[in-house]
Amino acid sequence: MRKYIIKRILISILVLLGVSIILYTVARSVPGDYVTNITAGNQNITPEMEAQMREQYGLDKGLVEGYVDWLVDALHGDFGTSFVYQRPVAQVIKEYMAPTLALSGIALTLEVILAIPFGIWAARKQYSMTDYTIVAIALMGISLPSFFFASILRIVFSIKLGWLPISGMLTARMNYQGFDLFLDYARHFVLPIVVFVITGVGSMLRYVRTNMLEVLSADYVRTARAKGLPEHKVIYKHAFRNTLIPIVTLIGGMIPALFSGAVITEGIFSLEGLGNVALKAVYNGDIPYLMGFNMFIAVLTLLGTLVADVLYAVVDPRVRY
Amino acid sequence: MSDNKELLERNLKEQDEFEKNQVIMTPGQLIAKRFFRNKLACFGLGVIIVMVLFCAIGPIISPYGEYEIFYFDVNTNAEVRMDKVSGNPNLGVLVKAPISASHWLGTDADGRDVLTRLMYGGRISLTVGLVVVGIELVIGILLGGIAGYYGGAVDMIIMRLCEIFYCLPFVPIMLILSSLFVGYGISPQKKIYFIMIVMGVLYWASVARNVRAQILSLREMEYMQAAESTGIKTWRKILKHLVPNTIPIIILIATMDIGSVILTESVLSFLGVGIAWPYASWGNMANVVTDSIILKNYPNIWAPPSLLILFTVLAFNFIGDGMRDAFDPRMKR
């Protein structure tokens, strides 16, 4: 087991190296870098000043040299200074992490809570009206463009009914304290979380349903039925436990999708999280932040799959490495 | 003795009759039967057929062009078409016209017929879906097949490549690449192709993974030993004996992915990096929901493209689900 984990971690480092090379190449090959962006239209900037600024930002070096510099710094734990925020990238990420984690964490939990019981319910009644209704609603959720769904929610709940704030994280000029502050945050997070959950729960529910169907047609379930166990015991003791195994791996694999989704949802609702900062970074050519953010996601992705694989062996004693 | 003979004859006759009445189905027929039992899947198939007809035949029937802008005469309020504009000084653009006999869904914020653009947009959206899935399938099947068949170092390298592509965050990459397109002055016509290629290249990893897993188990089957003993070429073995047996899972992935690509294209259009003006796609037409005035007052502009996306993606998902259940003989119950 330990040998397996060590091997996986070594492989992950290789993968991260590959990811960083691709990301750096893509980020650097954009014509018009950060310096061009901030100096555009400013008549007082001479070419010499521009060159000097480039040197300061490390943009004067070639692709390979720049990458090696970045890599060496990154290995020392220094991910550079964000061009836009003028602070170390690690600090910027730490600062803006809370909203993103809250958003995706709560959404993921809600998805699990919704997907598992409804998925099992649909599987138990395959080809029935219940099954069709649950699957149709779940799939409608994943077939909606998230920006469209968000706009509809905003027009209904914020503009027409006025129940919830339209965007942002805090009500301006209210200076809430303590519990009121928490409530204010919560009110701003309701719509983004709803968008997240509705547009995401379908894939997990479908997965639960398929696995449950597979398990329900297994021999040991038939045996359990044949020996006359009550139905709920068959479902929850024999079938459900075995569907848990693949679900564990699914949750590990959902992390990158969560963060990608966060970029769009945070952008729509202008929440000050990692995704929104990343959007700004793309528009401004803030290479250090983009590299830091994308590598952060890559590390989380690899970590997620690794943890899922290890958990797989924990929940299923048949699996050995 | 004669009794016995009679019994035997009767038995034979009964057996013949039984066999005559027995309907023998090929595996394909069995799959089709299971597929059409699923009502949602049938509904999905119907929706897709309607959509394809709408986009393929619609533009031929429609009297208007994709980019045609409509004007109206300020004095008479009569509608003027684009080719009759020259020389008339008192014309205004017919923007956001309501639903009428000549414009069934009105006109959009630029004065173009919404229904006609929906048809052309559907062509683009469906084509993008098909082409992206085509690209990812070609790369995925090839690399997945090679990795699964050869194993060892080749497998190791290809699977690590898979993981690398898995770790690339899609949205930020697309955003960066699109500024690349803008920076190098790529025209909207060419940009469509670039977007399709990039999406295909970013999506192949999951196809390769699934194909590889399938081939790993197929490789150990007895019929592969038989193929081996005939001494045919490796390429023939992979393409003729292994890949065809992975077709169920490939069809499944393809169906599901066409839907998700159409959806992704719409999100990209929303972020301003998808299919660009003057081309219509359902994604960039639905994009107008960001304009709060249109969102509040002109549902005839934003609702149709959004609903078409919803129904198309939903239909592909239903078909995919139905196929998964149909292909899997264990799901018989």
Residue B80, φ and ψ in degrees, nearest 5: -125, 135
Q: Which two tokens stand for residue B182?
A: 């803008």
> Residue B92's beta-bridge partner residues?
B72
> What radius of gyration do chain B's Cα atoms show?
27
Residue type, B264: T
Question: Residues with Cβ < 8 Å from B218, sequence gap 6 or more?
Answer: B224, B242, B245, B246
Q: Tell if the CB–CB gap between B183 and A32 is shorter than 8 Å.
A: yes
Could you say which of A26, A32, A210 has the minimum Cβ distance to residue B177? A26
Task: Flag if A143 and B309 touch (Cβ within 8 Å).
Answer: yes
| pLDDT tens, residue by residue, A153-176 | 888 887 777 777 777 776 666 667
Contacts of A145 in chain B (CB under 8 A): 263, 266-267, 270, 283, 286, 306, 309
What pLDDT sits at residue B139? 92
B304 CA to centre of own chain? 19
Q: Which residues of A touch B171 (CB under 8 A)?
A: 260, 263-264
- Cross-chain residue pair B167–A143, CB shorter than 8 Å: no
Which pLDDT score, from 0 to 100, does residue B130 have?
92
pLDDT tens track for A182-207? 777 778 888 888 888 888 888 888 88
From chain B, the residues in CB contact with A32 under 8 A are 179, 183
Residue B116 has, within 13 A of its CA and on its CB side, a CA count of 21
Q: Which of A284, A287, A290, A291 is nearest to A39 (CA)?
A: A284
- Cβ separation of B314 and A140 shorter than 8 Å? yes
**Contact state of A18 with B38 under an 8 Å Cβ cutoff:** no
Cβ–Cβ contact A238 with B under 8 A:
no
Comparing alpha-carbon positions, the chain A residue that sits nearest to B156 is A11
More confident residue, A13 or B81: A13
Question: Mutation test of the interface with chain B: which of A155, A282, A293, choosing the one with the most B Cβ atoms within 10 A?
Answer: A282
Q: What percent of chain A shows pLDDT beyond 90?
A: 2
User: What are the chain B neighbours of A213 within 8 Å (beta carbons)?
Assistant: 325, 331, 333
Provide the 10 A C-beta neighbour count for residue A253: 14
The answer for residues whose C-beta is within 8 angstroms of residue A7's C-beta and 6 or more apart is none
End-to-end CA distance of chain B: 46
The alpha carbon of residue A279 and the mean position of all alpha carbons in its chain are separated, in whole angstroms, by 15
Res B133: pLDDT: 93
CA nearest to A238, candidates A256, A258, A215, A267:
A215
Q: Do A140 and B270 lie within an 8 Å CB cutoff? A: no
Nearest CA in chain A to B36: A127
User: What is residue B279's predicted lDDT score, i.e. its pLDDT?
Assistant: 79
Query: What residues of B are in contact with residue A217 (Cβ under 8 Å)?
Result: 330-333
Degrees to nearest 5, angle at CA B122 with B120 and B126:
130
| B114: nearest Cα among B101, B127, B125, B104 | B104
A135 close contact with B: CB closer than 8 A: yes
Of A268, A273, A270, nearest to A102 by C-alpha is A273
Which two tokens mark A6? 């060590």
- d(CA B168, nearest CA chain A) in Å: 7
Task: Kindly state the DSSP code that residue B93 receives in the 8-state scheme.
Answer: E
For chain A, the three-class secondary structure string (H helix, E strand, C coil) is CHHHHHHHHHHHHHHHHHHHHHHHHHHHCCCCCHHHHHHCCCCCCCHHHHHHHHHHHCCCCCHHHHHHHHHHHHHCCCCCECCCCCCEHHHHHHHHHHHHHHHHHHHHHHHHHHHHHHHHHHHHCCCCHHHHHHHHHHHHHHCCCHHHHHHHHHHHHHHHCCCCCCCCCCCCCCCCCHHHHHHHHHHHHHHHHHHHHHHHHHHHHHHHHHHHHHHHCCHHHHHHHHCCCCHHHHHHHHHHHHHHHHHHHHHHHCHHHHHHHHHHHHHHHCCCCHHHHHHHHHHHCCHHHHHHHHHHHHHHHHHHHHHHHHHHHHHCCCCCC
- Interface with chain A: mutation pick from B37, B163, B260, highest number of A CBs within 10 Å: B163
The pair of three-digit structure tokens given for residue B67, joined into one six-digit string = 């980019």
Does any CB of chain B come closer than 8 Å to the CB of residue A249?
Answer: no
Whether the predicted pLDDT of A43 surpasses 80? no
Residue B180 to residue A15, Cβ atoms within 8 A: no
Return the pLDDT at B49: 93
pLDDT of residue A40: 64
Chain A residues with CB under 8 Å of B166 CB are 256, 301
HSE-CB of B142 using CA atoms within 13 angstroms: 8
Residue whose C-alpha is closest to residue A58's, from A28, A32, A87, A29: A28
Q: Give the pLDDT of residue B333.
A: 44
Helix (H) or strand (E) holding B150: helix B114-150
Quick one: tokens of B23? 């309907």
The helix-helix angle for B188-219 and B247-270 (nearest 10°) equals 150
Q: Which of B37, B42, B166, B176 to mutate to test the interface with A (most CBs of A within 10 A)?
A: B176
Interface test with chain A among B33, B38, B167, B288, by most A beta carbons within 10 Å: B167
Are B295 and A155 in contact by the 8 Å Cβ rule? The answer is yes
Distance between B92 CA and the closest CA of chain A, angstroms = 30
- Both tokens assigned to A81: 């200074």
Q: Which of A152, A264, A302 comes nearest B167 by C-beta?
A: A302
Of A132, A139, A214, the CB nearest to B317: A139
- Among A15, A30, A159, the residue with its CB nearest the CB of B164 is A15
Q: Is the pLDDT of residue A118 over 80?
A: yes
Q: Which amino acid is at A89?
A: V
Residue A197 CB: number of other CB atoms within 10 A?
A: 19
- Residue A203 CB partners (closer than 8 Å, separation 6+): A142
CA–CA min distance A138, chain B (Å): 10
The structure tokens listed for A84 are 């836009």
For residue A321, name the pLDDT band (cuts at 50, 70, 90). Answer: low
pLDDT at B135: 94
Closest Cβ opposite residue B167 in set A15, A26, A140: A15
Residue B180 CA to residue B200 CA, distance in Å, equals 18
**Chain B interface mutation, best of A13, A25, A131, A151, highest count of B Cβ atoms under 10 Å:** A151
Chain A hits for B169, CB-CB cut-off 8 Å, are: 256, 259-260, 263, 294, 297-298
Q: What is the pTM of this model?
A: 0.81
Please identify every stretch of chain B with a pLDDT value under 50, giving residue numbers as ranges. 333
Nearest CA among B254, B282, B169, B41 for reference residue A139? B41
Residues B257, B255: Cα–Cα separation, whole Å: 5
> Backbone phi, then psi, for B69, in 5-degree steps?
-100, 140
- CA of A246 vs chain B CAs: smallest distance (Å): 15
Q: d(Cα A208, Cα A202) in Å, to the nearest integer?
A: 10
Q: How far is B159 from chain A (nearest CA, A)?
A: 10
- How far apart CA B252 and CA B324 sit, in angstroms, is 7
- pLDDT, residue B315, reads 92
pLDDT confidence of residue A36:
67
- A213 to chain B: closest CA residue: B331
Measured distance CA(A82)–CA(B115) in Å, rounded: 46
How far, in Å, CA of A67 to CA of B51, rounded?
A: 48
Nearest in space to A112 (alpha carbons), one of A211, A213, A204: A204
Cβ separation of B164 and A18 shorter than 8 Å?
Answer: yes
Q: Kindly list the residues from chain B whose CB atom is less than 8 angstroms away from the CB atom of residue A283.
A: 179
Residue numbers in B near A142 (CB within 8 A): 263, 313, 317
For residue B136, the SS3 value is: helix
